[in-house]
């Protein structure tokens, strides 16, 4: 029964994450052929994942199922490797090699930098809270 409950929690998070990704894709639709929506969700997801894991989890003492719902469910469905590869292939197939290079670089290097920024923010927020609590006591 516990595994089924975990499945449901992840299912709910994934439903929200997939819907958000679709909505953002609609908002970022442009005629240039550059996949701005996919880039946006992947970069914001790369930033939010470490922030959720390292800060919000510790600050609010989230249960394991809540963390799974937010990370594996919501952010797992929100970000998209399959669309990233399909978009990359489409740029390649259309001979847009400059845009393909920019997209690959922006996604991979940008995602890594966003993850570093999310980790940095999480550590910074946690340190501030720790020092604030220490000062109060």
Q: Residues in the chain, how many?
A: 137
Closest among 62, 24, 23 to 43, alpha carbons compared: 24
Ligand-binding site membership of 13 (annotated)? no
- Asked whether the beta carbons of 50 and 118 are under 8 A apart, the reply is yes
Ligand-binding site membership of 79 (annotated)? yes
CA–CA separation, 108 vs 120, rounded Å? Answer: 18
List, as residue ranges, the binding site for Na(+): 76, 79
List, as residue ranges, the binding site: 76, 79
């Amino acid at each position: 029964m516990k595994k089924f409950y975990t499945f449901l929690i992840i299912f709910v998070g994934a439903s929200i994450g997939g819907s958000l990704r679709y909505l953002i894709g609609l908002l970022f639709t442009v005629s240039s052929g550059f996949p701005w929506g996919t880039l946006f969700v992947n970069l914001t997801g790369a930033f939010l994942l470490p922030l959720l894991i390292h800060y919000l989890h510790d600050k609010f003492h989230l249960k394991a199922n809540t963390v799974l719902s937010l990370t594996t469910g919501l952010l797992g469905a929100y970000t998209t490797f399959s669309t990233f590869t399909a978009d990359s292939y489409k740029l390649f197939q259309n001979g847009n090699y400059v845009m393909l290079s920019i997209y690959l670089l922006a996604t991979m290097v940008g995602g890594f930098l966003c993850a570093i920024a999310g980790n940095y923010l999480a550590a910074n927020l946690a340190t501030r809270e720790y020092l604030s609590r220490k000062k109060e006591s």
